[in-house]
């Protein structure tokens, strides 16, 4: 490539914008770093301003020359999201890539989890995506793409995720409809369903998840946040709707109708095991999540 071609590519990269919710940690941070290689302007959104600044510094360190701006916001707050996205678009420009990775897990049984925990699970993991989408969609043009981070937990319901999985199932429904709605505008929609992935979310779960949930997850290989992010960004670049980043998730997705009764039988058996049962009602201690309302 000649000098003029190279500088045109540089210039294109410098002006290209990507927004990432949950961009301060885990899969979101890995996605922001991956996107920074082709996008010179990155906006990251999450609640904790200190972690956001640390993430911004990390992105600049890994991909020097990237302009990174941090927007502290709770994605469950629709009005605050509209303000944050409006500010990001005004400061950075309209995004070509939007990754929705902000999420949190409320572990527990259906009846034992508090009303607040159930609402929080839905408000962060489902509405938290919806509010960002509503704010950002008017600014997207042909060639843009949106990536939603769902979960393998939104393919088959697994014990322990009553306050989390329903939001991920709902997100899948929204993604399927969005894909149709946005096709006419030339905007791609990609839904990524990661398996257990080595991030602070999973490390917290490792401490708190019930032995039954842990048993169900045992044996399935964990992914790195970087590998999940790479698969998601590649899927968005290629216009794929569904990204199933590991063999275990692919099997789960394709064989779900056959696996469902088998996995349900296994979970019922584990719940009857006296060695595991004592810990299986593990409820509102999840309300310790540091940002929960008092
Ligand atoms: N790790 C896994 O095993 C796994 C598996 C399947 C799917 N997923 C999904 O992957 C996504 C990313 O999770 P992760 O594993 O990367 O977790 P993580 O490392 O804990 O990152 C979560 C990110 O979301 C932000 N966040 C949480 N609640 C928020 C809120 N109310 N408003 C704004 N930002 C919020 C966090 O920052 P603040 O706390 O500062 O707000 C953080 O940046 C989630 O949607 C999760 O459901 C994870």
The per-residue pLDDT for range 102-127, each reduced to its tens digit, is: 999 989 999 999 999 999 999 999 99
Residue 202 Cα to ligand 1 midpoint, Å, equals 10
DSSP 8-state symbol, 200 = H
Residue 286 has pLDDT above 60, yes or no: no
Residue 186 Cα to ligand 1 midpoint, Å, equals 28
Residues with Cβ < 8 Å from 111, sequence gap 6 or more? Answer: none
Lowest mean pLDDT among 54-63, 203-212, 260-269: 203-212
Average pLDDT over residues 165-186: 98
**How far, in whole angstroms, is CA 39 from its chain's centroid?**
20
Of the two residues 280 and 196, the one the predictor is more confident about is: 196
Output the pLDDT for position 220.
85
- Spot the catalytic one: 71, 159, 161, 164: 164
Residue 213 has pLDDT above 80, yes or no: yes
Percentage of the chain beyond pLDDT 70 is 91
Kindly report the average pLDDT of the chain as a whole number. Answer: 92
Identify the residue whose C-alpha is closest to ligand 1 atom 8: 151
Identify the residue whose C-alpha is closest to ligand 1 atom 7: 151
Residue 5 has pLDDT above 70, yes or no: no
Active site residue 159: no
Closest atom, ligand 1, to C-alpha of 105: 47
| Predicted TM-score of the model (pTM) | 0.94
Residue 290 has pLDDT above 50, yes or no: no
Identify the residue whose C-alpha is closest to ligand 1 atom 44: 103
Cross-strand bridge partners of residue 146: 98, 189
Output the pLDDT for position 274.
82
Residue 218 Cα to ligand 1 midpoint, Å, equals 21
Q: Which residues line ligand 1 (CB under 6 A)?
A: 22, 24-28, 46-48, 51, 74-76, 101-104, 124, 128, 149, 151, 194, 196-197, 199-202, 225
Percentage of the chain beyond pLDDT 90 is 83
Identify the residue whose C-alpha is closest to ligand 1 atom 16: 26
What angle do the packed helices 78-92 and 128-136 form, to 10 degrees?
A: 40
Mutate to test the pocket of ligand 1, among 19, 21, 23, 27 (most ligand atoms within 8 A of CB): 27
Question: Diameter of the chain by CA atoms?
Answer: 71
Mutate to test the pocket of ligand 1, among 104, 121, 154 (most ligand atoms within 8 A of CB): 104
Q: By the 8 A CB rule, do 88 and 69 touch?
A: yes
Q: Which domains does the chain have, with CATH numbers?
A: 3-287 (3.40.50.720)
Identify the residue whose C-alpha is closest to ligand 1 atom 14: 26
Average pLDDT over residues 229-251: 98
Residue closest to 46 by CA, chosen among 90, 4, 102, 104: 102
Q: 207-241: buried (b, 16+ CB within 10 Å) or exposed (e) per residue?
A: eebbbbbebbbeebeebebbbbbebbbebbeeebe
């Amino acid at each position: 490539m000649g000098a003029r071609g190279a500088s045109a590519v540089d210039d294109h990269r410098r002006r290209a914008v990507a927004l990432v919710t949950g961009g301060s940690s885990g899969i979101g941070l890995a996605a922001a770093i991956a996107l920074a290689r082709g996008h010179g302007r990155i906006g990251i959104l999450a609640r904790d301003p200190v972690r956001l600044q640390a993430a911004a510094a990390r992105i600049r360190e890994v991909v020097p020359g990237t302009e990174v701006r941090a927007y502290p916001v709770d994605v469950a707050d629709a009005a605050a999201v509209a303000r944050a996205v409006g500010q990001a678009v005004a400061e950075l420009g309209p995004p070509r890539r939007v990754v929705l990775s902000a999420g949190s897990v409320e572990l527990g049984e259906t009846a034992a989890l508090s009303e607040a925990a159930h609402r929080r699970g839905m408000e962060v993991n489902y509405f938290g995506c919806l509010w960002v989408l509503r704010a950002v969609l008017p600014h997207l043009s042909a060639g843009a793409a949106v990536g939603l981070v769902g979960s393998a937990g939104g393919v088959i319901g697994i014990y322990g995720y009553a306050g989390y999985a329903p939001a991920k199932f709902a997100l899948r429904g929204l993604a399927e409809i969005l894909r149709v709605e946005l096709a006419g505008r030339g905007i791609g929609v990609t839904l990524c369903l990661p398996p257990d992935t080595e991030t602070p979310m999973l490390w917290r779960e490792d401490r708190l998840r019930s032995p039954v949930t842990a048993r169900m997850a045992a044996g399935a290989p964990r992914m790195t946040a970087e590998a999940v992010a790479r698969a998601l960004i590649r899927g968005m670049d290629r216009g794929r709707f569904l990204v199933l980043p590991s063999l275990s998730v692919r099997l789960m997705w394709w064989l779900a109708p056959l696996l469902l009764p088998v996995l349900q039988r296994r979970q019922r058996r584990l719940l009857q095991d006296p060695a595991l049962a004592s810990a299986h009602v593990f409820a509102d201690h999840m309300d310790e999540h540091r940002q929960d309302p008092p």
